[in-house]
Chains A and B, each alone.
Chain A
Amino acid sequence: MKQLVNIVIVLAAVVLLFGDQLGITTVIPTAPFEVDKFSVVIVEETEERINLPRSQLTAMRSIKWLKYVEEKEGQWRKIDKDADVTGDEQWVQDALTVERDSLPWLLIATPDGGTSEPMPADLDAFLEVLKSHGE
């Protein structure tokens, strides 16, 4: 039994340390910021909209996902990375402090978990990510 536990610990360490190189996605379902309801933040650079794939810009601007968030009694923002959010609610300010690898960036937070990842490439993919956290 002790040997089995040790094997599991070693395997877990390997996945965490080398998961990306091995093509293994590690899902750490921790909310990127603290909230009491389903919350979605898209961070963008408005000047770079011209360089986004059309399908991605469409996904960001569609009201179809807003309707889903409202259905879940949630809240949302689409914020330029340079926007002054000092007057906005705490969850928005917290969301803007989360580390990002690129733009546009998607943050989803619920009381049970969430994700912090690049904005999906199209509306279908975006809705799929939302529903994976909203259901």
Chain B
Amino acid sequence: MPREPIIDDTNDSALTPPPGMSTGLDPRDMGKHPFGGLAKPFDLPIIDRSEWYDRIKEMEDSESLLSNTCDYLGMKCLDQNGTNYCWANGPVYCVEAVRAGMGLTPTLLSPASVAAPIKNYRNQGGWGTEALEYIIANGIYPASEWPVNSMSRKHKSDSGDESAQDFRVTEWYDLDGRDFNQLMTCLLLRIPVAVGYNWWGHEVSAIDPVIVGNGFGIRIRNSWGMAWGDRGYGILTERKATADDAVAPRVTAAT
């Protein structure tokens, strides 16, 4: 039985932001960011549902889930701490997870270094592809140079911009909206996915495929700090997990 809260239609108390926390997802503007406009449209063959159960059991038994690697390397979840920047926290954590899978030294990255410049240093909502566009062009500041939630423009600098280039993503997938099969295929391949849910008004990071009862779901890493769920992990059942917006980083710079 998973330790994390399982969020479905009958149990959604964990969806409410804890005191001091917030969400911040706006529905993706398809006019501004059409499907496949920035990232490669997802074009992999779908792993058939008939294989999911055995694959997930094998991943659990062999400790080859992406969360196994993240936990082994001591990665903590992000904490958006009252900012409306969930839509940047989701993709940024995915970049951290990809880096962890590569064996790079875990580096805390700053979601605010992405979101704040986009929103002219205001505490405003957005969507994952907005963050992605910025990350592709500019990279992400390490938290040592831009505190994770600071909306102050004083952190932006030439040297920081240079450092941010070390934390770029060079290859992404743009998944079809509302396609659970594509999402599960990525997770079965250990590719994390930044997922936005209009029903929740929130963006999180999808990390693992999971078996839930007689069905399936996903393990997410939220950005509400380590006290939420099980060290920031929770589970969304399939109906809840089918995302409105989903982008998956595949390759990052190695620094």
Question: Do A and B make up one complex?
Answer: yes
Are the CB atoms of B63 and A63 closer together than 8 Å? yes
Q: How far is the CA of A121 from the CA of B171 in the complex (A)?
A: 26
In this complex, the interface size class of chain B, counting residues with CB under 8 Å from chain A, is: 20 to 34
Q: What A residues does B250 contact at CB under 8 A?
A: 46-47, 80
B76 at the interface (CB under 8 A from A): no
Q: Give the residues from 10 to 64 in chain A that come closer than 8 angstroms, CB to CB, to chain B.
A: 46-47, 49-50, 54, 57-64
Q: What A residues does B185 contact at CB under 8 A?
A: 50
| Total residue contacts A-B, CB cutoff 8 A | 86
Given contacts A49-B189, A58-B58, A58-B59, contact A88 B254 (CB under 8 A): yes
Q: Give B72-116 as 1s and 0s: 1 = Cβ < 8 Å from A's Cβ atoms.
A: 100000000000000000000000000001111000000000000
B1 at the interface (CB under 8 A from A): no
B123 at the interface (CB under 8 A from A): no
Q: Which residue of chain A has its CB nearest to the CB of B190?
A: A61
In-complex Cβ contact of B254 among A54, A57, A77 (8 A): A77
Given contacts A88-B254, A92-B254, contact A50 B189 (CB under 8 A): yes
Q: A-contacting residues of B (Cβ < 8 Å)? A: 44-45, 47, 55, 58-59, 62-66, 68-69, 72, 101-104, 166, 168, 170-171, 185, 189-191, 250-255
Q: B-contacting residues of A (Cβ < 8 Å)? A: 46-47, 49-50, 54, 57-64, 66-67, 75-80, 82-85, 87-88, 92, 123
